[in-house]
Amino acid sequence: MKKVVIGAAALVTLAAGPAFAQQSVKIGFVSTFSGPTAVIGNDMRNSFELALDHLGRKMGGLPVEVIYEDDQQKPEVGVQKSQKLVESDKVNFVVGYIWSNVLLASLKPVIDSQTFLISANAGPHQIAGSQCSPFFFSTSWQNDQTPQAMGHYMNQKNVRTLYLLGPNYAAGKDMLGGVTSTYKGTVVGEDLTKWPDQLDFSAELSKVRRARPQAVFVFYPGAAGVQFLTQYAQSGLKGQIPLYTAFTVDAITLPLQKELALGVPGAQQWVNDLPNDANKKFVGDFRAKHKTYPSFYGAQSYDAANLVNSAVVAVKGDLSKKDAMRAEMRKANYASVRGPYKYGNNHFPIQNFYLQDVVKDADGNLTLKTVATIVENNQDRFSRECPMNW
């Protein structure tokens, strides 16, 4: 009997079609939840869940349902999981994506189904430029922006010769391209290493030593950043050649990098000590719940939840009004933990980038601190190639 009732209810729902009010907001969250970089995915999930708690687990009066999917840091798995989310789970939003190569593979099935995709980390230049989409938004940055800020900073520090190191995948190429676009000195050497399985950098460090640059710029996210700093110190280069980084020292890697990260500057659009109310609430509650500092990956995921919420609230839970939701998200009308920002025509944030340094907090734990603002209201350099205008 029960089955019949449910069956009948399902028929009614089907017949009512899009006019029938939505039962819940369904969000698919794709990140890495297994393998060495699962800690990043966990941090993103914890922050996303915290944002939902802060929202009372409701958006625009509708309960929120989140389906977490593990991309295993592999593009081919990411695209399968994304397809499953839009085709069989019929989610309203797909959020997440740490890795640029995974995002590039997963983008098409999601936006082709006219589902909004919110990248909470990866920002490959293709999506900022020619492949920009009305269904894509970023709560992070375009890959080139952070290293570009580092390039400016190295100009300020009068670095005349530089060696570049990074992993050989979409984001690694963007990062090294970004730093060379603003850096005014001479690049004396450049190596892209096998990703993600090359963890021993002895050959590259030997080359750095022979090239004798004034500074080294690296991009090694996640555990690779720990390995790189360890080997840099063991090779004796630390102390001889200063290191400048992007996405290599963060709240997740610091407990493993420890003192090795002291004095290693990085750039970021968000740091845990940014003095706005939304950020204080986020960092305070996160630390109370998880006993660790949130990472920038987490901050971007927290923002992604709030960006989605702003869109759902604006249409009062009528998720069929996609144009209205897009118009609302373009305003970035929510309390971002990085402070207010605007969206560029390609749906990437126009935002400040800060210089961050490693310090000890009151309890003796290592954490990151904002030192200075390197660039203000920075827009990525690929927005001009994006045909979208609004």
Partner 1 sequence: MLLVLEQCLNGLQFGLLLFLLAAGLTLVFGIMDLVNLAHGSLYMVGAYFAATFTAWTGSFIVGALLALGATLIVGMAVEVIAMRRLYGRDHLDHVLGTFGLILFFNELVRIIWGPAGMSLQLPGWLNAWIEILPDLEYPTYRIAIIVTALVVALFLYLMVMRTRLGMLIRAGASNREMTGALGININLLYTIVFGLGAALAALAGLMQAPIQTVQIGMGENILILAFVVIIIGGIGSIRGAFIAAILVGLIDTLGRAFLPDLMRLFMSSRGASQVAPALSSMLIYLLMAIVLVVRPAGLFPVSNK
Q: Which residues contact 100 (CB under 8 A, 6 or more apart)?
A: 122, 123, 124, 143, 169, 170, 171, 174
Per CB under 8 A, 255 contacts partner 1: yes
Give the residue with the Cβ less far from partner 1, 255 or 340. Answer: 255
Question: Encoding tokens for residue 70?
Answer: 């593990």
Q: Which is nearer to partner 1, 65 or 190 (CB)?
A: 190
Neighbours of 143 (CB within 10 A): 29
290 counts as binding partner 1 under rule CB under 8 A: no
Residue 1 CA to residue 385 CA, distance in Å, equals: 59
Residue 112 binds to partner 1 (criterion: CB under 8 A): no
Figure out which of the listed residues 54, 84, 108, 209 binds partner 1, where binding follows CB under 8 A. Answer: 209
Nearer to partner 1, 202 or 373 (CB): 202
Instruction: Report if residue 7 touches partner 1, rule: CB under 8 A.
Output: no
Three-state secondary structure string covering the chain: CHHHHHHHHHHHHHHHHHHCCCCCEEEEEEECCCCCCHHHHHHHHHHHHHHHHHCCCEECCEEEEEEEEECCCCHHHHHHHHHHHHHCCCCCEEEECCCHHHHHHHHHHHHHCCCEEEECCCCCHHHHCCCCCCCEEECCCCCCHHHHHHHHHHHHCCCCEEEEEEECCHHHHHHHHHHHHHCCCEEEEEEEECCCCCCCCHHHHHHHHHHCCCEEEECCCCHHHHHHHHHHHHCCCCCCCCEEEECCCCCCCHHHHHHHHCCCCEEECCCCCCCCHHHHHHHHHHHHHHCCCCCHHHHHHHHHHHHHHHHHHHCCCCCCCHHHHHHHHHCCCCCCCCCCCEECCCCCEEEEEEEEEEEECCCCCEEEEEEEEEEEEECCCCHHHCCCCC
How far apart are CB 366 and partner 1 at their closest, in Å? 13
Note whether 365 binds partner 1 by CB under 8 A. no
Task: For tokens 């999917």, name the residue.
Answer: 69
Is 65 an interacting residue with respect to partner 1 (CB under 8 A)?
A: no
Going by C-alpha positions, the residue among 183, 177, 181 that lies closest to residue 152 is 183
What's the distance, Cα to Cα, between the start and end of the chain in Å? 53
Rule CB under 8 A: say whether 233 interacts with partner 1: yes
Q: Name which position in 26, 81, 173, 338 contacts partner 1 (CB under 8 A).
A: 173
Binding to partner 1 by residue 263, rule CB under 8 A? no
Cβ proximity to partner 1: between 36 and 339 the closer is 36
Q: Does 226 bind partner 1 (CB under 8 A)?
A: yes
Q: How far is the CB of 295 from partner 1 (least distance, A)?
A: 12
Of these, 38, 67, 188, 371, which contacts partner 1 (CB under 8 A)? 38
Q: How far is the CB of 290 from partner 1 (least distance, A)?
A: 12
Q: How far is the CB of 296 from partner 1 (least distance, A)?
A: 17
Provide, rounded to whole angstroms, the least separation between the CB of residue 233 and partner 1: 7
Q: How far is the CB of 160 from partner 1 (least distance, A)?
A: 19
In the complex, what is the shortest distance from the CB of residue 252 to partner 1, in angstroms, rounded to a whole number?
Answer: 8
- In this chain, which stretch among 24-32, 233-241, 272-280, 379-387 interacts with partner 1, using CB under 8 A? 233-241
Whole-angstrom Cα Rg for the chain: 21
**Does 199 participate in binding partner 1 (rule CB under 8 A)?**
yes
Residue 203 touches partner 1, criterion: CB under 8 A: yes
227 binds partner 1 (CB under 8 A): yes
Q: Looking at 131, 133, 146, 231, which residue binds partner 1 (CB under 8 A)? A: 231
Q: Which of 204, 250, 328, 380 binds partner 1 (CB under 8 A)?
A: 204
Contact window for partner 1 (CB under 8 A) among 95-103, 190-198, 354-362, 379-387 = 190-198
Which of 87/200 has CB closer to partner 1?
A: 200
Residue 39 contacts partner 1 per CB under 8 A? yes
Binding residues for partner 1, per CB under 8 A?
35-36, 38-39, 42, 168, 173, 190-194, 197-200, 202-204, 206-207, 209-210, 223, 226-227, 230-231, 233-236, 252, 255-258
